[in-house]
Amino acid sequence: MTQTPIGTKPSFADLCGLNAPQRLAAQTRCLAQIREQGLKQVRFVWCDLHGTTRGKTLMAHAVAAALQNGVGMVSTLMLKDTSDRTVYKVFEPGGADELPGFACASNLLLMGDPASLKVLPWQPDTGWIQCQPWFDNATAVVFDSRHVLQQALGRLADMGLGMVCGLEVEFHIYRIQDTRPQLDPDLAGWPGLPPEVQMIHPGYNLHSETCLDMSDEALTLVRDTAQALGLPLQSLEIELGPSQVEAVFDATDALTAADNMVLFRNGVRQALRQKGYHATFMCRPPFPNIMSSGWHLHQSLVHLDGGKNAFMRDAPQPGTTTQEALHTLTDLGSHYLAGLLEHAKGMVVLCTPTLNGFGRFRPNALAPQAVLWGKDNRGAMLRVVGQAGDKATRIENRLGEPAANPYLYMASQIYAGLDGVVHELTPPPATDTPYGNANAEQIPGDLEQALAALKADTVLNTALGPDFVRYFCRCKQSELERYTAAADKDDFQRREYFSRI
């Protein structure tokens, strides 16, 4: 932390311990870029519990002060369910007893990272800065999902390890036909209706070049947006379902990967909307003939000293077959795999957090149903990819839906895997029959079961913090209760997910 000059009042960034020399240097570069590129405004943005970006837009002249003293944010933004209803009764006596610092819709301060400045390609003269919330007593808000991942990565770092993640994200893009249902004041609701749409390709023609041509305008917008934001986009593909596509990203460190997912998901929705398209990361859009979208998370651990892949064996363990984890993975990798299996049921709701996402877990649908792993098996929950000597050896988790909060998704992997490492758990043999194993433990079948499984997992509760788990489950319980009470379940999902995610 830098020294504050004598007689100068410390900034809030000073009090938070943020003003390391590298941050101050990044602030200097950030402010210079704003001037040089003639930006007129900058969005100070934070990722909420549900993976949605929120924030305030500051005029360019206000950015320097905001980077040192924060941007005020009403604390109830952290207490919303997926409809934007405040879950906790913060104005009633005892309504926020579980959440010290949140009573009466108190203020939080968003502290921006000046190194995160982006120039938005779809919005003229506008910058974007990533933020995290702090209490006014200069303590970090532990319910912030990015903070949760940072804490998990700190646990890894204490063991001399880091995490590398690659993203495969399926989603749907539609052409907007009519915005009147969404914007007609007589039809306004909470949440509101989505626009009327048509598909950009007919589907059921996986990786079709013809469908690529049909979808080229929309995919070009996705490509240009991602690349302009500096995201490591590797490929864009036509997926099996009608109007379904997939984006694949190069592997990066875990925190960068999570940040990239937030920026990509929220950025492409805004950029496409401006050009007449509706992109949705809802798992199963509300139409009769669709295919579910998944988010496959490729992960490996690396040694911080030298960067070597900690999952890669130099040679198969003698006497093992390809169906045994130690044929492909190191001892550490094998234990990590076993930890993911051990805590699979508890982690499901952090990987698939919406009611809609559980419709994906169907047989023979390239989505898991049971707690199993397989060697390069896309029907298993965990797919081990690579071989001895392969620097890209990794574990792919196929539980996730594209609406998941990436920070919580990745944190759940770390804590589950580390429990396997610490206790030297041993995984069973790989499966060849991911849908035909009657004795296999089943993945929770709905949101209610998944929340119960998380509450019952003492390891994940301890690692994430019982206060965080209680907070997360209460927010999701609100969503579940409103869905249960809804007379029209399809309309609920159209408004709650298709319109907003």
pLDDT score for 107: 94
pLDDT band at 1; cut points 50, 70, 90: very low
Q: Six-digit token pair at 68? A: 């040192």
Sign of torsion over alpha carbons 132, 138, 144, 149:
positive
pLDDT band at 8; cut points 50, 70, 90: confident
Of 222, 304, 322, nearest to 313 by C-alpha is: 322
Q: Would the pLDDT of 173 be above 70? A: yes
Mean pLDDT of 263-287: 97
Cα end-to-end distance, the chain, whole Å: 39
Give dist(CA 147, CA 69) in Å, integer: 19
Mean pLDDT of 258-264: 98
In the chain, % of residues over pLDDT 90 = 94
Q: Six-digit token pair at 24? A: 């101050």
pLDDT tens per residue, range 180-207:
889 999 999 999 999 999 999 999 999 9
Give dist(CA 499, CA 280) in Å, integer: 8
pLDDT score for 340: 98
pLDDT tens per residue, range 85-124:
999 999 999 888 889 999 999 999 999 999 999 999 999 9
Q: If DSSP states are collapsed to H, E and C, what string results for 123-163?
A: CCCEEEEEEEEECCCCCECCCCHHHHHHHHHHHHHHCCEEE
pLDDT score for 7: 53
pLDDT score for 6: 47
Mean pLDDT of 204-228: 96
CATH number for the domain running over 12-141: 3.10.20.70
pLDDT score for 223: 98
Please give the CATH superfamily to which domain 153-437+447-498 belongs.
Glutamine synthetase/guanido kinase, catalytic domain (3.30.590.10)
Residue type, 70: G
Mean pLDDT of 254-265: 98
pLDDT score for 164: 98
- Are the C-beta atoms of 88 and 96 separated by less than 8 Å? yes
Determine what percent of the chain falls in helix, strand and coil, rounding each to the nearest 5: 40, 20, 40
Q: Would the pLDDT of 19 be above 70? A: yes
pLDDT score for 439: 87
pLDDT tens per residue, range 68-80:
999 999 999 999 9
Give dist(CA 42, CA 24) in Å, integer: 18
pLDDT tens per residue, range 230-240:
999 999 999 99
pLDDT tens per residue, range 122-146:
999 999 999 999 999 999 999 999 9
Instruction: Delimit the domains of the chain by residue range.
Output: 12-141, 153-437+447-498
The domains spanning 12-141 and 153-437+447-498 adopt the same CATH topology: no
pLDDT score for 5: 52
Q: Would the pLDDT of 491 be above 50? A: yes
pLDDT band at 365; cut points 50, 70, 90: confident
Mean pLDDT of 425-440: 92
pLDDT band at 4; cut points 50, 70, 90: low
Average per-residue pLDDT for the chain: 95
